[in-house]
Amino acid sequence: MISLSRRHAKSPAILILIFALTLGQIAAPAQALAGLFGDFTLKDEKELGKKYYTLIKATYPIVEDPEIVRYIKDVVNRVAETLPPQPFPVTTTVVRNNAINAFATPGGYVYVFTGLITEFENEAELAGVIAHELAHVTQRHVAKRIAQQQVTSLGMLAGVLAGMLIGQASGGDSGRAASQALIIGSMAGAQSSMLNYSRIDEREADQVGMNYLLEAGYPPTGMMDGFKKIRRKQYLSGRSIPAYLSTHPAVDERIGYLEDRIAGLSTDIKARTETENRFQRIKTLALARYTDIDGALSTFRTGTGNPALDFMGTGIILSRQNNIPEAAQAFDSALRLAPNDPLILRETGRFHYLQGDVSKAASYLTKAMLLNSDDLMALFFMARLQADKGEINRAVGYYNRILETLPEDPEVHFYLGRTMGRSGNDFDGHLHLAYWGIYSLNKKKAIFHKEKVQALAETEEQKAAFETLTKIFDERDEFWKEMGKGKKK
């Protein structure tokens, strides 16, 4: 679960080309996109959003840590509950990428980059960026520009949308320039003005997003402080400002009118505060697992204000460095300060399991699960412990429980497949190993185990399971084939 070996994302330019070519295969007549709110139907929007979602899943490393995923979903849902009625449910994905970014696409899909967690100081700042992006969706800014530019097919729309959104994801002008060059070169008729939201759109997203932020109960300074922090980090590091701040109106002007609006709010709203304990716990995990080792280690050793979490983060990083003795000492120090913290217990149990100390691992993981029955990471390592002991049925039950919440977690499918295989259930063993291949982006392994599943399918239930597997494989294979073409050029 939560593999740290997922490969790096493709470049934004390659992603745009893949997306444009793939959706170009299902191009619609010009008339189908002519209307702003009419003929560009909800079905078209749903199809476009699902294709983009599959593209992201097929090319970007996705965070599956249930603690992080659940937290981000809770923040997104808290803001989304304030939106006017929407035609699609919100689907949240956490992308492992250090860009300070989030974006939303047609069909109700929201993508949050881990850089937003590691670079911000509190939840209100995170929620401010999410509210801004959701406002672009509710105000139909993408749909408006589709109509204004007279996009003539879903293929062209795919190229334009991918250029705009992945240009944002790259976090800067160079990424946007690469996106723009490829779009213009490969999608005749797509206009460069489509790659950025207009001045009016950005102002509206700021103001409407602020409404959502306030209605969700967050401190009003969240969005403004987030913008300030991004600007300050850009000045200090030389990194480009992400697209939602680099477009017009200028960031200083935007901060200015947000300050003016906040000044006019009632005293009780301006006095709002937010408990940051959960945010800091998630930030500790993200810093320790997904960022530069030296920088994160320096942060924890300097101190973040929570010594127990600092020791836990230090232990995770030292274990990444394979400095096992010092990592063990760090986890022990964390437990001395917070002996009943379920997150620290889980991470300590995880560490000892991976070091082969099954007895210690079982003790810490059991206590973590008793204190937090929803901790799927603890459940995952308990499942592995049970499988090691030969308690197959119990292990399988734990794995299946995790998959109810994280159906695309590659490591869960991998270990469940191995457990099934060792128990003599070859069909289910190869079935889950095929899903492991798909979700870990290993096409060769996916094909190998898929063929085994096909050969072993005898009952109607098994044949139906193979059909479902084939459908999911084919969705990913669209993009894998286009990636292969791109490499040959």
Contact (CB, 8 A) for 53 and 90: no
- Which position has the higher pLDDT, 350 or 64? 350
Mean pLDDT of 48-68: 81
**Structure tokens belonging to residue 341:** 């913290």
Residues 6+ apart with CB under 8 A from 474: none
pLDDT band at 244 (very low <50, low <70, confident <90, very high): low
Which of 124, 67, 125, 115 is closest to 295 using CA atoms?
115
pLDDT the model gives residue 29:
36
Query: Which DSSP string corresponds to 311-348?
Result: HHHHHHHHHHTT-HHHHHHHHHHHHHH-TT-HHHHHHH
- Which position has the higher pLDDT, 125 or 482? 125
pLDDT the model gives residue 180:
33
Which of 161, 261, 168 is closest to 206 using CA atoms?
261
Q: Return the percentage of the chain with pLDDT > 90, whole number.
A: 52
Q: Chain-wide mean pLDDT for the chain? A: 80
- Which position has the higher pLDDT, 344 or 90? 344
Sign of the four-CA dihedral 25, 31, 34, 35: negative
What does the alpha-carbon distance between residue 169 and residue 177 come to, in Å, rounded to a whole number? 13
The answer to whether residue 34 scores a pLDDT higher than 90 is: no
pLDDT the model gives residue 48:
75
pLDDT the model gives residue 193:
40
The answer to whether residue 239 scores a pLDDT higher than 60 is: no
**Structure tokens belonging to residue 52:** 């983009």
- Which position has the higher pLDDT, 25 or 451? 451
pLDDT band at 344 (very low <50, low <70, confident <90, very high): very high
pLDDT the model gives residue 17:
39
What does the alpha-carbon distance between residue 285 and residue 281 come to, in Å, rounded to a whole number? 7
What does the alpha-carbon distance between residue 334 and residue 322 come to, in Å, rounded to a whole number? 19
pLDDT the model gives residue 364:
97
**Global confidence as pTM:** 0.80
**Structure tokens belonging to residue 121:** 């100081």
The residues pairing with 91 across neighbouring beta strands, listed in sequence order, are: 109
- Within 10 angstroms of residue 431's Cβ, the number of other Cβ atoms is 26
pLDDT band at 238 (very low <50, low <70, confident <90, very high): low
What does the alpha-carbon distance between residue 387 and residue 241 come to, in Å, rounded to a whole number? 48
Share of the chain residues as helix, strand and coil, in percent rounded to the nearest 5: 70, 5, 25
Sign of the four-CA dihedral 56, 58, 60, 65: positive
Lowest mean pLDDT, pick from 183-192, 260-269, 293-302, 329-338: 183-192
Which of 281, 298, 126, 134 is closest to 206 using CA atoms?
134
pLDDT band at 144 (very low <50, low <70, confident <90, very high): low
Which pLDDT tens digit goes with each residue over 378-396?
A: 999 999 999 999 999 999 9
pLDDT the model gives residue 237:
55
pLDDT the model gives residue 126:
94
What does the alpha-carbon distance between residue 290 and residue 113 come to, in Å, rounded to a whole number? 11
Region of 150 please: left (phi>0), alpha (psi -120 to 50) or beta.
left
Q: Return the percentage of the chain with pLDDT > 70, whole number.
A: 75
- Which position has the higher pLDDT, 434 or 159? 434
Lowest mean pLDDT, pick from 9-13, 162-166, 388-392: 9-13
Mean pLDDT of 280-290: 95
The answer to whether residue 478 scores a pLDDT higher than 90 is: no
Residues 6+ apart with CB under 8 A from 298: none
The residues pairing with 110 across neighbouring beta strands, listed in sequence order, are: 92, 104
Which pLDDT tens digit goes with each residue over 395-433?
A: 999 999 999 988 999 999 999 999 999 999 999 999 999
Which of 338, 347, 356 is closest to 313 using CA atoms?
347
Residues 6+ apart with CB under 8 A from 32: 39, 40, 41, 44, 154
pLDDT the model gives residue 241:
54
pLDDT band at 1 (very low <50, low <70, confident <90, very high): low
pLDDT the model gives residue 249:
57
Residues 6+ apart with CB under 8 A from 125: 222, 223, 225, 226, 229
